[in-house]
Structure 1
């Protein structure tokens, strides 16, 4: 959706040339980092990867690899891709789409984390020391 949706409206001001170049470079870097983080999260989860909020029966709490930096590296990587794309295409609406995606993921993560706290006794301690989506911030 973010790639195919309109990037701006005629009534919104265009980004100036400086911000266009900065957005392209910064957005490109953010997309590369997001891709690497999401792929690392998928690789570390392996067979435990599931689209549902409850972990699989034999799942274990991961605290290494990408999970050392954020509790949800796949979601974090996808969000980096979304915001990176918005910067890369210099689109105000695309930034709004990325922000909406952040809110949707945040809501889903809160429910998912409730399930993880019930499933893994050590999850509360892990959550206290590792950020949810953005290292050292959130």
Structure 2
């Protein structure tokens, strides 16, 4: 059972990422991008969405924005979770980084960078929770990268 402090910190993570999502994906008037850039950005963002969706699908009912494991959950180590420990965060970071870099202005790139940093901190904090709950998490973390897949050489 998470402490009150842990729950409050979890809510703070969720609130901060929600504000950053709004800043990243809010419409920008007058933004002019070439059709090629729009297509490339759309494909890259779509790829991030597919990666995040794969991780979310595998979590099923255990999917939550809170970085605290739900009661009765089990450790996922297969599928997308065999490639990276945080496929949902990986996909979200990729999509938001692309949006931030291609949408124009200064606010979106700064917000995307802030979101990526926030999700990296959130992932580390979540991993401490998972290590406390699952003794096998340490071995899983040793063999599986956090965000970016390893080369298969």
TM-score (norm 1): 0.78
- The corresponding residue for 1:3 is 25
Deviation of 1:89 after TM superposition, in Å, equals 2.4
Aligned counterpart in structure 1 of residue 117 of structure 2, from 103, 114, 122: 103
Unaligned runs of 5+ in 1: 8-16
Deviation of 1:28 after TM superposition, in Å, equals 2.1
Contact 1:24 1:90 in 2 (8 A): no
Deviation of 1:136 after TM superposition, in Å, equals 2.8
TM-score (norm 2): 0.71
- The corresponding residue for 1:120 is 134
User: What is the rounded CA distance, in whole Å, between the counterparts of 1:25 and 1:91 in structure 2?
Assistant: 19
More helix by share: 2
Which stretches of structure 1, 4 residues or longer, exceed 4 Å deviation after superposition?
20-23
Q: Does 1:65 align with 2:79?
A: yes
- The corresponding residue for 1:51 is 65
User: What is the rounded CA distance, in whole Å, between the counterparts of 2:35 and 2:104 in structure 1?
Assistant: 9
Contact 1:26 1:87 in 2 (8 A): no
- The corresponding residue for 1:89 is 103
In structure 2, do the counterparts of structure 1 residues 127 and 26 end up closer, same or farther at CA, with 3 Å as the change threshold? farther
Q: Does 1:35 align with 2:80?
A: no
Give the total of aligned pairs.
129
Deviation of 1:99 after TM superposition, in Å, equals 0.8
Contact 1:6 1:94 in 2 (8 A): no
User: What is the rounded CA distance, in whole Å, between the counterparts of 1:56 and 1:124 in structure 2?
Assistant: 19
Deviation of 1:109 after TM superposition, in Å, equals 1.2
- Structure 1 window deviating more from structure 2 (105-114 vs 23-32): it is 23-32
SS at match of 2:25: coil
User: What is the rounded CA distance, in whole Å, between the counterparts of 2:78 and 2:90 in structure 1?
Assistant: 16
Per-residue CA deviation, residues 89-127 of structure 1 (Å, 9 max, x unaligned), is 244542221111011111111111001011111111111
RMSD: 2.7
